[in-house]
Amino acid sequence: MKNRLSLFLLTFSLSTGVFAQQPVPFENEIKAFEQQDQTSPPPKKPILFTGSSSIKLWQSLKTDFPDKVVLNRGFGGSSLPDVIRFADRAIIPYKPKQIVIYVGENDVASGKVTAQAVLDRFVTLFTTIRKSLPRTPIVFISMKPSPSRRKYLPITQEANRLIKDYLAKQKRAQYLDIYSAMLDTNGQIRGELFRADSLHMAPKGYELWTAKLKPLLK
């Protein structure tokens, strides 16, 4: 009787999906990139932009850098573990000329990590890329001061500092301080750089990023 009951419960669980494998976050976005590459081959040796929504939503990327071959492989909502997980599918296969990274803000906003943990995750991403692309220049855009995430800004600033110090010791690596550039002369966040949600950037925000990033692109 017990064996029959156990068999029934197992069958029920399987049929209702209780034991069904959970989908990997952002798997669909990565598959979409791969399908896009099949139908429209990506450029050779692009400057590859990767990271979270600030990259994904950079719709003017190609026109902002008209003299560069750029490729956007950002996927919104991603954190450092996500970019690490998909590095072998969304970064490395493109053999980019240069890599521009913006990620980490969602890690901090989870409220579950320290600045040191963000650095540790970034180091994992950096070394993962370096193993396959040892000579590819990497630019890290510092985490921005999003108004909707004010309570996390102390951790954001500390994590930025730790990453900056780490990159200063690495070859072919640069840190772009965008945090300070998004503050006014009184040290207040420039609200006009953000959309109404006080998180994602308005066109003026991308104009600022473009001006700061241009001198660093190869």
Give the tens place of pLDDT for each residue, 40-92: 999 999 999 999 999 999 999 999 999 999 999 999 999 999 999 999 999 99
Query: Which pLDDT score, from 0 to 100, does residue 21 have?
Result: 63
* Per-residue model confidence as pLDDT tens digits over 80-121: 999 999 999 999 999 999 999 999 999 999 999 999 999 999
Read off the pTM. 0.90
Tokens representing 24 are 């990997």
Q: Give pLDDT tens digits for 118-151.
A: 999 999 999 999 999 999 999 999 999 999 999 9
* pLDDT value at residue 8: 43
For the stretch 17-47, pLDDT in tens is 444 567 899 999 999 999 999 999 999 999 9
Quick check: 4 pLDDT over 60? no
pLDDT at 176: 98
pLDDT for residue 162 is more than 70:
yes
Chain position carrying tokens 């990259």: 55
Q: Which domains does the chain have, with CATH numbers?
A: 26-216 (3.40.50.1110)
Structure tokens that stand for 128 in this block: 């993962």
Angle, to 10 degrees, between the axis of helix 153-167 and the axis of helix 115-132?
40
Which pLDDT score is estimated for 96? 98
Confidence of residue 13 (pLDDT cuts 50, 70, 90): very low
Residue 169: both structure tokens together: 């010791």
Three-state DSSP at 149 gives helix
Cβ neighbours for 155, distance < 8 A, ≥ 6 positions apart: 108, 113, 114, 115, 118
